[in-house]
Amino acid sequence: MAKPKSSYGRVLSALVYKILLEEADEGHPLLVASGVPERKTIRKSLVDQYKVEVNPRTISLTLFDLERIGIVVQKDHSKRGGWYPVREIDEDFARVILLSLYGSNALPNNEIKEIATALAPVIGKSVPEEYDRMFSSEITPWEKRIPGNMAVINEAIKRNRRISYTYALNADDGNVYPPREGYIPDKTVNPLTIIAQHGDFYLLYSLGGKDQIRSLRIDNIYSAKISREQRIVPEGFSIKEYMRDRPYAFTGEIQEFKVLLEKDEHSHENGKIRFIRQYFGNQPKYERSADGKLYATIRTDWNSFKWWYIQYADVFTIISPEAMRDEMRKYAKNLWKKVRK
């Protein structure tokens, strides 16, 4: 059985297919007899358009993969006469590409936005020009609502406009439904960007100032529309700086948390650093005290630290702040009451 393609592989397949759609015209190097020029052309386009470096062999394998699933064919199999697309991306393939894009570091955010917007009509069955009406009344499964909402959000940011929406309700049957009329009024916010965190997609938005930034699950947004009001972006706001210390889609003030790395049965604690690095990168600072204990200082928001620490409470001891120590004591006490029943 063939192994499923990696997220990067699926993204690369989508990009190569996109290049074929744009460049594989009659007489173009992509359709000449030699296989070398076609790979060079695709490779150059990947670098020029998407800043992605790929070796020729990988491009060849990607082309064969696309042929195998019926997306492209060789013009002349006997003479390797180049490649050309034979059909548009269908809904299932587009959905796979979209989810792969937002789960990959292979592309910069602006390129992801462009491709996601282009895919939205395929998945959402809507006309790309009619952003203001997109999904305003149609109830669709979450996987179809996500790209539609993304298209509205990205277009609003492009136009520098605010967006309005209503937020879905969670029902006791496990499904999500649009709010009843009048139950939750329309909200109008300033969209900042789309972020992907641990398999879920969020809208990061502002109510006005830097201390009023919030996040919202995109799959729970209904009736997203572009407002006529001008978008307000907090002065000095940088999405890169904002998300640098936030491993989860939580908002709130950044503060410092200090933890002690517990030693394992072999009296080692260095291996625990990976549990910090995989969430907070290389930002945390480490220090070893005179008695040989290893400490880490982590900068993040309150809720991000809380939910990270719950996963690794048996590995780290909270040193400060005292308020977080109190919070975890309450959490542990409540948890013990529930599990002892």
pLDDT in tens, 185-194: 568 899 998 8
78-116 pLDDT, tens digit each: 555 677 776 566 665 565 566 555 544 445 556 666 666
Same domain for 65 and 107? no
Q: What is the CATH number of the domain that holds 49?
A: 1.10.10
> In which residue are the tokens 């029902």 written?
171
Report in angstroms the alpha-carbon separations of 222 from 30, 159, 245: 43, 20, 30
User: Within a domain: residue 24?
Assistant: yes
- Provide the pLDDT for residue 13: 74
**Is residue 202 one of the residues assigned to a domain?**
yes
Instruction: Let me know whether 238 and 266 are in one domain.
Output: no
- The answer to whether residue 93 sits within a structural domain is no
pLDDT reported for residue 155:
84
122 and 205 together in one domain: yes
Q: For residues 32 and 82, is the Cβ–Cβ distance under 8 A?
A: yes
Q: Is residue 17 part of a domain?
A: yes
Phi-psi region of 175 (alpha: psi -120 to 50; beta: other; left: phi over 0): beta
Neighbouring CB atoms inside 10 A of 282's CB total 7
Tokens representing residue 38 in the block: 């076609």
In a shared domain, residues 107 and 225: yes
Domain CATH for 275: 3.30.70
Q: What residues make up the domain containing 289?
A: 254-339
d(CA 38, CA 277): 41
Q: Is residue 81 domain-shared with residue 180, that is, in the same domain?
A: no
- Is 174 within the bounds of a domain? yes
**Prediction pTM value:** 0.55
Number of domains in the chain: 3
Report whether the peptide linkage leading into residue 321 is cis, meaning its omega lies within 30 degrees of zero. yes
For residue 177, tell me if it sits in a domain: yes
Say yes or no: 182 and 289 in one domain: no
State the Cα–Cα distance between residues 206 and 268, nearest whole angstrom: 44
Same-domain check for residues 108 and 177: yes
Specify whether 240 is located in the same domain as 258. no
Asked which of 87, 112, 134 is the last residue of a domain, the reply is: 87
**Is 56 in a helix, a strand, or coil?**
helix
Last residue within a domain, chosen from 244, 268, 283: 244
Q: 320 and 267: one domain?
A: yes
| Within a domain: 94 | no
How far CA 303 is from CA of 203, 210, 241, 308, in Å, comes to 18, 18, 18, 8
Over its length of 341 residues, how does the chain's per-residue pLDDT go in tens digits?
A: 233 344 456 667 777 877 777 776 655 656 554 456 667 778 888 877 776 777 777 777 777 777 766 667 776 655 556 777 765 666 655 655 665 555 444 455 566 666 666 666 655 544 334 333 333 334 344 445 677 788 788 888 888 999 988 877 665 555 666 666 545 556 889 999 887 766 577 888 988 766 688 888 887 787 788 888 999 888 888 877 787 777 777 878 889 999 998 876 666 666 678 888 878 877 889 999 898 888 999 999 898 899 899 988 888 999 999 999 999 999 889 888 888 76
Last residue of a domain, one of 87, 110, 127: 87
Amino acid 128: pLDDT: 39
pLDDT of residue 8: 57
71 and 118 within one domain: no
User: Hunting for tokens 């400060």 — which residue is that?
Assistant: 320
18 within some domain: yes
Same domain, 118 and 208: yes
Same domain, 310 and 233: no
